[in-house]
Amino acid sequence: MTKEHAIVFLADAGHITDVTVIDENAASIGFKFMGWPITLFTYEDDPNFLFLRCSYVLDDTIRNELEVLRTLARIQDRAKVAKLSASIAEAEVSATAELFLPACADFAAVFWRSVDVVARVASEAHDELNSTGAAEVAAERFTEELEAELHLKKPDGD
């Protein structure tokens, strides 16, 4: 999808776009889909290539990288075309989809289904990771409070 085609296509569907030109061949086009932040990357030299990304910021409570990877792998198994990634350092989870689409009448249906899948998978990962992170913080706080209470109740001389 070329940059101009994408802008017109999204505007015709009622979306406001935020275009960033990466270079003479590539651009990123941000838009909202049902409130979800979507970025479409366009490539002038390959207009049939479609690359979509939906990213969310994670809570700062998420620290366990292994648990993040397990969660993403479980969600991604059900996601079909979407691929998940997360950066704990940047506190971000992203879902992406890369497809080759022929110019045809079914383009719009495939495009919007791909957008929907990427947005839903990123949202699901975001919600699950944030709830897991909050539970881990609550468990840590409970353990610390319990240890402090037990420490205060120890008999003298220990």
Tens of pLDDT, residues 103-145: 766 788 888 999 999 999 998 888 888 776 445 544 556 555 5
Number of structural domains (the chain) is 1
Residue with tokens 């944030």: 130
How many Å apart are CA 46 and CA 56, to the nearest integer? 28
pTM of the model: 0.75
Residue 91 in domain: yes
91 contact partners, CB below 8 Å, separation of at least 6: 57, 58, 59, 60, 62
Q: Is the pLDDT score of 149 beyond 80?
A: no
pLDDT tens for residues 17-35?
999 999 999 999 999 999 9
Residue 31 in domain: yes
> What's the distance, CA 71 to chain centroid?
13
Beta-bridge partners for 18 = 30
CATH classification of the domain holding 119: 3.30.1460.10
User: Would you give the DSSP letter of residue 81?
Assistant: T
Residue 158 in domain: no
How many Å apart are CA 145 and CA 139, to the nearest integer? 10
Which amino acid belongs to residue 97? A
Residue 27 in domain: yes
Instruction: Find the domain containing 14 and state its range.
Output: 3-153
Q: What percentage of the chain has pLDDT greater than the value 90?
A: 35
Find the mean pLDDT for residues 59-87: 81
